[in-house]
Amino acid sequence: MSAPSKTAPSKTAPPRAHGDAAAEVEVSAPHLLGQGFRDYLRYDVRLHHEPGGAAEASQRDIVVGGRVVAVLCFDPARDRVVLIHQFRLAAHLATGRGRMVEIVAGRVDPGEAPAAAAQRECLEEIGIAPTRLEELFKFMPTPGVTDEICTLYLGIVDSHALPARAGLAHEHEVTAPFTLGLDRGVHHERAVARKDVCYEAVVDVWRCWSA
Protein backbone atom coordinates (compact mmCIF):
# COMPACT_ATOMS: atom_id res chain seq x y z
CA MET A 1 0.00 0.00 0.00
CA SER A 2 1.41 3.33 -0.95
CA ALA A 3 1.87 5.94 1.69
CA PRO A 4 -0.88 8.55 1.79
CA SER A 5 0.04 11.65 -0.10
CA LYS A 6 0.58 14.80 1.83
CA THR A 7 -1.93 17.54 1.24
CA ALA A 8 -0.28 20.54 -0.29
CA PRO A 9 -0.78 23.70 1.74
CA SER A 10 -3.53 25.82 0.27
CA LYS A 11 -2.57 29.16 -1.17
CA THR A 12 -4.68 31.80 0.45
CA ALA A 13 -4.53 35.53 0.20
CA PRO A 14 -2.49 37.19 2.94
CA PRO A 15 -4.60 38.37 5.85
CA ARG A 16 -5.97 41.84 5.30
CA ALA A 17 -5.47 44.60 7.80
CA HIS A 18 -8.47 45.59 9.86
CA GLY A 19 -10.18 48.82 8.90
CA ASP A 20 -11.39 50.36 5.68
CA ALA A 21 -9.20 49.88 2.62
CA ALA A 22 -9.22 50.46 -1.12
CA ALA A 23 -11.02 47.82 -3.20
CA GLU A 24 -9.96 46.27 -6.49
CA VAL A 25 -12.94 47.43 -8.54
CA GLU A 26 -13.89 48.87 -11.90
CA VAL A 27 -16.74 51.37 -11.86
CA SER A 28 -18.58 52.79 -14.88
CA ALA A 29 -19.74 56.33 -15.38
CA PRO A 30 -23.03 56.95 -13.52
CA HIS A 31 -26.45 56.55 -15.13
CA LEU A 32 -29.05 59.00 -13.81
CA LEU A 33 -32.16 57.07 -12.73
CA GLY A 34 -34.02 59.89 -11.01
CA GLN A 35 -33.66 63.44 -9.82
CA GLY A 36 -35.36 65.22 -6.94
CA PHE A 37 -34.09 66.44 -3.58
CA ARG A 38 -31.20 64.02 -4.21
CA ASP A 39 -29.93 62.43 -7.42
CA TYR A 40 -30.39 58.66 -7.82
CA LEU A 41 -27.56 57.04 -9.78
CA ARG A 42 -26.77 53.54 -11.09
CA TYR A 43 -23.27 52.19 -11.71
CA ASP A 44 -21.99 49.08 -13.49
CA VAL A 45 -19.45 47.49 -11.17
CA ARG A 46 -16.82 44.77 -11.61
CA LEU A 47 -15.52 43.80 -8.19
CA HIS A 48 -12.54 41.54 -7.51
CA HIS A 49 -13.19 39.86 -4.15
CA GLU A 50 -9.60 38.58 -4.00
CA PRO A 51 -6.47 40.34 -5.30
CA GLY A 52 -5.98 39.36 -8.92
CA GLY A 53 -9.06 37.14 -8.88
CA ALA A 54 -11.95 37.03 -11.31
CA ALA A 55 -14.26 40.01 -11.31
CA GLU A 56 -17.94 39.75 -10.39
CA ALA A 57 -20.19 42.04 -12.43
CA SER A 58 -23.19 43.75 -10.84
CA GLN A 59 -25.16 46.97 -10.77
CA ARG A 60 -25.23 49.23 -7.72
CA ASP A 61 -27.55 52.17 -7.04
CA ILE A 62 -26.59 55.19 -4.97
CA VAL A 63 -28.46 58.20 -3.62
CA VAL A 64 -26.11 61.18 -3.86
CA GLY A 65 -25.77 62.66 -0.39
CA GLY A 66 -22.41 64.41 -0.45
CA ARG A 67 -20.95 66.11 2.60
CA VAL A 68 -23.04 66.70 5.71
CA VAL A 69 -22.39 67.78 9.29
CA ALA A 70 -23.96 66.86 12.62
CA VAL A 71 -23.55 68.61 15.97
CA LEU A 72 -24.01 67.20 19.47
CA CYS A 73 -24.92 70.41 21.31
CA PHE A 74 -24.06 70.60 25.00
CA ASP A 75 -24.54 73.37 27.56
CA PRO A 76 -21.91 72.76 30.28
CA ALA A 77 -23.20 75.60 32.48
CA ARG A 78 -26.59 73.88 32.80
CA ASP A 79 -25.38 70.30 32.26
CA ARG A 80 -27.91 69.84 29.46
CA VAL A 81 -27.86 68.64 25.87
CA VAL A 82 -29.88 70.36 23.15
CA LEU A 83 -31.90 68.14 20.82
CA ILE A 84 -34.72 68.77 18.35
CA HIS A 85 -38.01 67.22 17.31
CA GLN A 86 -38.41 67.09 13.53
CA PHE A 87 -40.84 65.30 11.21
CA ARG A 88 -39.34 62.59 8.99
CA LEU A 89 -41.59 60.97 6.41
CA ALA A 90 -39.48 57.81 6.18
CA ALA A 91 -39.76 57.26 9.93
CA HIS A 92 -43.52 57.89 9.78
CA LEU A 93 -43.96 55.32 7.01
CA ALA A 94 -41.70 52.74 8.65
CA THR A 95 -42.69 53.04 12.31
CA GLY A 96 -45.61 55.45 12.63
CA ARG A 97 -43.41 57.71 14.77
CA GLY A 98 -42.46 60.46 12.38
CA ARG A 99 -41.77 63.15 14.99
CA MET A 100 -38.19 62.12 15.66
CA VAL A 101 -35.67 63.13 18.29
CA GLU A 102 -32.53 64.28 16.49
CA ILE A 103 -29.32 66.21 16.87
CA VAL A 104 -28.55 69.21 14.67
CA ALA A 105 -27.52 68.12 11.17
CA GLY A 106 -27.55 69.27 7.57
CA ARG A 107 -25.77 69.50 4.25
CA VAL A 108 -22.53 71.34 3.57
CA ASP A 109 -23.13 73.90 0.82
CA PRO A 110 -20.77 74.01 -2.20
CA GLY A 111 -17.59 75.84 -1.23
CA GLU A 112 -18.55 75.90 2.45
CA ALA A 113 -16.21 74.63 5.17
CA PRO A 114 -17.74 71.89 7.37
CA ALA A 115 -17.21 73.93 10.55
CA ALA A 116 -19.02 76.89 8.98
CA ALA A 117 -21.86 74.57 7.97
CA ALA A 118 -22.06 73.27 11.54
CA GLN A 119 -22.39 76.83 12.87
CA ARG A 120 -25.05 77.67 10.27
CA GLU A 121 -27.08 74.51 10.92
CA CYS A 122 -27.13 75.24 14.66
CA LEU A 123 -28.49 78.73 14.00
CA GLU A 124 -31.11 77.33 11.63
CA GLU A 125 -32.27 74.34 13.69
CA ILE A 126 -31.91 75.44 17.34
CA GLY A 127 -31.69 79.23 16.94
CA ILE A 128 -28.32 79.58 18.71
CA ALA A 129 -24.72 79.28 17.54
CA PRO A 130 -22.05 77.26 19.37
CA THR A 131 -19.39 79.23 21.21
CA ARG A 132 -16.99 76.42 20.44
CA LEU A 133 -16.88 73.46 18.05
CA GLU A 134 -14.78 70.33 18.51
CA GLU A 135 -14.54 67.93 15.56
CA LEU A 136 -15.03 64.37 16.80
CA PHE A 137 -14.84 62.10 13.75
CA LYS A 138 -16.12 61.47 10.23
CA PHE A 139 -18.36 58.55 9.30
CA MET A 140 -20.72 57.29 6.61
CA PRO A 141 -24.21 56.74 8.13
CA THR A 142 -25.59 54.39 5.43
CA PRO A 143 -22.89 53.45 2.88
CA GLY A 144 -25.08 50.72 1.41
CA VAL A 145 -27.46 53.36 0.08
CA THR A 146 -25.74 56.73 -0.18
CA ASP A 147 -22.29 58.32 -0.56
CA GLU A 148 -23.14 60.74 2.26
CA ILE A 149 -20.18 61.37 4.58
CA CYS A 150 -20.76 63.16 7.87
CA THR A 151 -18.43 65.20 10.06
CA LEU A 152 -19.60 65.02 13.67
CA TYR A 153 -18.91 67.90 16.05
CA LEU A 154 -19.40 68.58 19.72
CA GLY A 155 -20.85 72.08 20.00
CA ILE A 156 -20.68 74.07 23.25
CA VAL A 157 -23.81 76.24 23.53
CA ASP A 158 -25.66 78.54 25.91
CA SER A 159 -29.21 77.19 25.89
CA HIS A 160 -30.89 79.91 27.97
CA ALA A 161 -32.35 81.62 24.86
CA LEU A 162 -33.47 78.44 23.10
CA PRO A 163 -36.58 79.17 20.98
CA ALA A 164 -39.67 77.00 20.97
CA ARG A 165 -39.55 76.75 17.17
CA ALA A 166 -36.79 77.04 14.58
CA GLY A 167 -36.02 75.90 11.03
CA LEU A 168 -35.99 77.43 7.56
CA ALA A 169 -39.43 78.29 6.19
CA HIS A 170 -38.34 78.19 2.54
CA GLU A 171 -37.14 74.59 3.08
CA HIS A 172 -40.43 73.67 4.83
CA GLU A 173 -38.27 72.85 7.84
CA VAL A 174 -39.85 73.09 11.28
CA THR A 175 -37.83 72.06 14.32
CA ALA A 176 -38.75 72.11 18.00
CA PRO A 177 -35.58 72.49 20.10
CA PHE A 178 -35.53 71.22 23.68
CA THR A 179 -32.99 70.39 26.36
CA LEU A 180 -32.36 67.22 28.27
CA GLY A 181 -30.47 67.06 31.56
CA LEU A 182 -27.46 64.83 32.07
CA ASP A 183 -28.13 63.06 35.34
CA ARG A 184 -24.78 61.32 35.65
CA GLY A 185 -26.16 58.79 38.12
CA VAL A 186 -28.82 57.31 35.86
CA HIS A 187 -28.36 58.74 32.35
CA HIS A 188 -27.13 55.50 30.78
CA GLU A 189 -29.98 53.43 32.22
CA ARG A 190 -32.50 56.01 31.01
CA ALA A 191 -31.05 55.92 27.53
CA VAL A 192 -31.26 52.14 27.34
CA ALA A 193 -34.73 51.96 28.89
CA ARG A 194 -36.10 54.62 26.56
CA LYS A 195 -34.17 53.30 23.55
CA ASP A 196 -33.21 56.92 22.95
CA VAL A 197 -30.29 56.47 20.56
CA CYS A 198 -29.59 60.18 20.18
CA TYR A 199 -29.45 60.68 23.93
CA GLU A 200 -27.16 57.71 24.43
CA ALA A 201 -24.83 58.97 21.70
CA VAL A 202 -24.64 62.38 23.36
CA VAL A 203 -23.80 60.78 26.70
CA ASP A 204 -21.06 58.63 25.17
CA VAL A 205 -19.49 61.63 23.45
CA TRP A 206 -19.71 63.67 26.64
CA ARG A 207 -17.88 60.92 28.54
CA CYS A 208 -15.03 61.02 26.00
CA TRP A 209 -14.93 64.83 25.88
CA SER A 210 -14.83 65.26 29.66
CA ALA A 211 -12.30 62.49 30.34
Select which of 26, 50, 112, 171 is catalytic: 171
Q: Please write down the HEC assignment for all residues of 124-187.
A: HHHCCCCCEEEEEEEECCCCCCECCEEEEEEEECCHHHCCCCECCHHHCCCEEEEEEECCCCCH
Cβ 117 vs Cβ 133: under 8 Å: no
Cβ 74 vs Cβ 156: under 8 Å: yes
Sorted by sequence, the CB contacts under 8 Å of residue 22 that are 6+ apart come out as: none
Based on the residue annotation, tell me whether 112 is a catalytic residue of this protein. Answer: no
CA distance 23 to 79: 44
Neighbours of 160 (CB within 10 A): 10
Sorted by sequence, the CB contacts under 8 Å of residue 14 that are 6+ apart come out as: none
Q: How many helices (H) and strands (E) does the chain have?
A: 4, 11
Residue numbers annotated as active site: 171
